[in-house]
Amino acid sequence: MRAFAEASGDLLVQPTLRLGVTGLARSGKTVFTTALIHHLTETHALPAFAPAQEGRLRRARLVPQPDDDVPRFPFEDHFAALTERRLWPRSTDRISQFRLAIEYERAGGWRSGPGTLMLDVVDYPGEWLLDLALLEQDYTAWSRATINGTRRAGRAEIAAPWLALLASLDPNAPLDEVLAERASDAFKAYLAALRNGPEAVATTPPGRFLMPGDLAGSPALTFAPIDNLPETIAPDSLAGLMQRRFEAYKAKVVVPFFRDHFQRVDRQIVLVDVLAAVDAGPTAVAELEEALDAVLLSLNIGRNTLFSRLFAPRADRILFAATKADHLHQTSHDRLDALLRLLVSRAMRRTEAAGARVGTVALASVRATRETTVHDGAEALRAVAGVPEAGEVVDGEVFDGTSEAAVFPGELPARPEAVLEGAVEPGSLRFPRFRPPLVRPDALGRPGHLPQIRLDRAMQFLIGDRLA
């Protein structure tokens, strides 16, 4: 009882909210997290974020984070890359964390007066989240499911080199470290090709195989599926070695992540590059829908009580965000949001039934374009304009990274189901990679304002109620 009293007292004296930020590769996690810190610490105009709009946000500052064994999110480096060099920061390939002390005035009522919220943000690759599904599988089931996955449309050619080696493996052969490493390398090459192929939005675990961090080369990351496994696997066989390392991966990599980080999240945002999937075709969109459903199945969700918040916290708000909305004219933003809602509709119903709130939003954490009009004969097309990165090609012109281009990206169908039915021809949308916007410091040398689209709406959903 004493421990409970002390813990509940800490919770009441120093309110803390733990926010998880994740998403699959190239979804914009690092940009979102950098922009979140920027707008909270600089208190720029945020019309949809009530504490800022109502003048109640006093200040926010970075303070030492609570977990000393987790790398600090390098905000300063990422912000400098965006504003000084106009380069997008490097992608998230490991877990990181920061803490913001947010000082605010309460909205009124019996709790009126100043307050402080400690916002702990944990940024991690979405591929790691999908690894949680491995906890419910054994090596045989995982091998069978992974090999069966190569039979999906568009994967045969990508999987061919790995499957050729796989066919030569005898699961009952004597344990062979060199052969195990060859098999693992071939499997990892297949996973890398999947990411770079037409289904780049999809993912096949283990997530650490492509983002190993400090585990690169370790035995726990040196295994692969094997076909035609016997009912009983001999410990001293090749299959026995692979099975042992699969179990080590779960015990040494997946379980600690779940226990030490993921299980403690109160709120979660999942960033999604919907546009890349749409441009890749209906198979990629279906893959994305499946991956997002797997993400929500992995989340520990539900309505929090005082007890659960102290001893078994659950994510009580989940926000899915379709990123890179600035690549479309604003007239298509509602269609992008509707498509995202369709992709997560099944998972949303399940999550809301557990007592959690689920939202969707189409946003651009940092807006790299402005809206304009281009003319195609007598027709005026709603377009976006920005500075394409060096080497990008628009209408046959190769850009040098300094000149602006106006691009008609195409339009999403008014009916989101049409995307899954193949209404958008693969490769028909035009999404060049634009450089970050030019941002100049003000007369006092303070950082300039990073433009955004609906980032403030995301902030309101995720933390606004805790600053009321």
Pair 229, 170: CB distance under 8 Å: no
- Would you state the pLDDT for residue 1? 42
CA distances from 111 to 55, 194, 443, 466 (A): 17, 53, 39, 12
CA 91 to chain centroid: 10
Distance CA 272, CA 280 (A): 14
Instruction: Give percent of the chain above pLDDT 70.
Output: 91
More confidently predicted of 3 and 65 = 65
Give me the phi and psi of 394, to 5 degrees please: -130, 120
Instruction: Tell me the pLDDT band of 287, cut-offs 50, 70 and 90.
Output: confident
| pLDDT tens-digit series, residues 65-79 | 999 989 999 999 999
- Write the DSSP symbol of residue 399: P
Asked if pLDDT for residue 399 goes beyond 90, the answer is yes
Instruction: Tell me the pLDDT band of 202, cut-offs 50, 70 and 90.
Output: low
386: β partners = 405
Q: Once rounded to an integer, what is the mean pLDDT over residues 213-240?
A: 93
The verdict on pTM exceeding 0.85 is yes
Instruction: Please count the CA atoms within 13 angstroms of the CA of 443 that sit on its side-chain side.
Output: 0
Pair 233, 239: CB distance under 8 Å: yes
Distance CA 42, CA 455 (A): 14
Instruction: Tell me the pLDDT band of 188, cut-offs 50, 70 and 90.
Output: very high
Percent helix, strand, coil in the chain (nearest 5)? 45, 20, 40
Pick from 133, 126, 284, 146: which is nearest to 202 by CA?
284
Distance CA 277, CA 422 (A): 12
CA distances from 131 to 150, 209, 230, 297 (A): 18, 11, 25, 11
Question: Which of 147-161, 223-237, 288-302 has maximum average pLDDT?
Answer: 223-237
Pick from 398, 456, 424, 264: which is nearest to 339 by CA?
424
Pair 463, 17: CB distance under 8 Å: yes
Asked if pLDDT for residue 108 goes beyond 50, the answer is yes
Q: Please name the residue ranges forming H helices in 112-271.
A: 126-130, 139-149, 156-167, 177-196, 238-249, 255-260
Q: Once rounded to an integer, what is the mean pLDDT over residues 290-301?
A: 72
Distance CA 39, CA 157 (A): 45
CA 76 to chain centroid: 21
Write b or e for each residue in 105-139: b if 16 or more Cβ atoms lie within 10 A of its Cβ, otherwise e. Answer: beeeeeeeeebebbbbbbbbbbbbbbbbbbeebeb
Candidate from 142-146, 210-214, 417-421 with smallest mean pLDDT: 210-214
Asked if pLDDT for residue 325 goes beyond 50, the answer is yes
Q: Strand, coil or helix: what is 344?
A: helix
